Structure 1
Amino acid sequence: MPNIWPLTLDELTPEMRERMEASYERSGYYPNAQLTLARRPEVAKAVQNLQQSIGGSSTVPMQTMFMVAELTSKIAGCRHCQSHAAKNLSRHGVDAEKIRAIWEYQTSDLFDERERAALDLALAAAQRPSMAGPEQFDRLREVGYVEAELVDLMAMISLFGFLTCWNDSVATETEAAPVEFATEVLGGMGWEPGKHATP
């Protein structure tokens, strides 16, 4: 049961309803976190705009960006965000074997050096306090990342810092599609919806 109740579609402002319909078109479901944030439309729009700006113009492959999101979510322990990031990885062409191997990215042959460098940054930066330092950024530059891409990676890690705190604290109910996907792909590794389950 969520700690803050989401709005129904009928309770949304016309602009938020339009944004929710666009989310539905992209994902096939209405995101419950956004329905809760919509109690403060300005906050909901700011989060949506940040999400769109991070992914909309980045030259970092979206597969890498959502790998970073998945690892950040695992470190934070937010099962809701884990399921969403994993489903987005699949939507962007990453197969189940690689999604399951993200925690072993440092030794798995499924990851290239650019992906490993990005995930090293996520592993360090997602901890509290942050353990990110010059070594992670220097390594990213060594494997070909440019400064704007470093901003994109840190923006994704930071976005999921917000999302994991929000969803885990609010106990956002995870929608059926991400639950089904995560149960199938990550269930054997201990994933379950936990407090994010439908009551």
Structure 2
Amino acid sequence: MTRLPPLELDQVDAETRHMIENAENLMGFVPNDALVMARHPALLKAMWGLVAAIYGPGEVDNGLKRLIGEAASKAAGCFYCSAHAAHGARVHGVAQEKIEAVWSYQDSPLFSEAERAAIGVAMKAGVIPNEVEDGDMETLRQHFSDTAVTEIVAVIAMFGFLNRWNTTLGTALEPTPLATVNQFDL
């Protein structure tokens, strides 16, 4: 149950509407969490800047970034963010079977060693207390440059905020990501 209802687009100012339209263009739907954040336009603006920086050009493929977000969100227990990240992964060309195999990434032949390292850190960083150890980071750095590691941790950290935001507020999942969620996740 939604604990704080999202605003309607006609309730926000022009700058806030523009940010929400950018989010819609990125995601393919208007995200309810942005409509809740719109109650504090400076917060939404800061979040949009973070999202744009994280999903902008970088060394790490945007499909993998979405899988990292899904893994961190699954570990944190945020169905809303996990569904958003899975939807984003699909949009960025990640196969459905690979998305569905995120929980079994360690043993699945669908993942490369580099992907396993990144998803492993995401899973361990998504729980509280954070379970990432030095060895996890050493393994990650065997596959990714320091810049790419920075990108990976930025995705995890962004989803950490969003996981807490959306589970605390009980943000309602939109029809687009809900329609593509694996029934196993429900």
TM-score w.r.t. the length of structure 2 is 0.96
Task: Quote the offset at 1:153 in angstroms.
Answer: 0.7
Equivalent pairs counted in the alignment come to 186
Displacement, 1:28? Answer: 2.6
Q: Which runs of 5+ in 2 are unaligned?
A: none
Measured after TM superposition, the shift of residue 57 of structure 1 is 2.7
Q: Are 1:171 and 2:170 an aligned pair?
A: yes
Structure 1 residue 139: Cα displacement: 0.7
State how far apart, in whole Å, the 2-side matches of 1:26 and 1:47 are: 14
How far has the Cα of 1:154 moved from its partner? 0.7
Mean Cα displacement is larger for which, 54-63 or 34-43?
54-63
1:152 Cα deviation after fit: 0.8
Q: Does 1:71 align with 2:43?
A: no
Q: Which consecutive unaligned segments of at least 5 residues does structure 1 have?
A: 193-199
User: What is the correspondence of 1:1-199 to structure 2 with a 5 Å cutoff?
Assistant: 1-143=1-143, 145-182=144-181, 186-187=182-183, 189=184, 191-192=185-186
Question: Once the two structures are superposed, what CA deviation does each residue of 1:5-54 show, in whole Å capped at 9, x if it has no partner?
Answer: 21111111110111122222233321110000010000011111101101
Cα drift, residue 160 of structure 1: 0.6
C-alpha separation between the residues in 1 aligned to 2:124 and 2:24?
Answer: 33
Percent sequence identity is 35
Amino acid at match of 2:6: P
Could you give the per-residue CA deviations for residues 83-102 of structure 1, whole angstroms, max 9, x where no partner exists? 10110010010111111101
- Kept in 1, the 8 Å contact 2:75–2:124? The answer is no
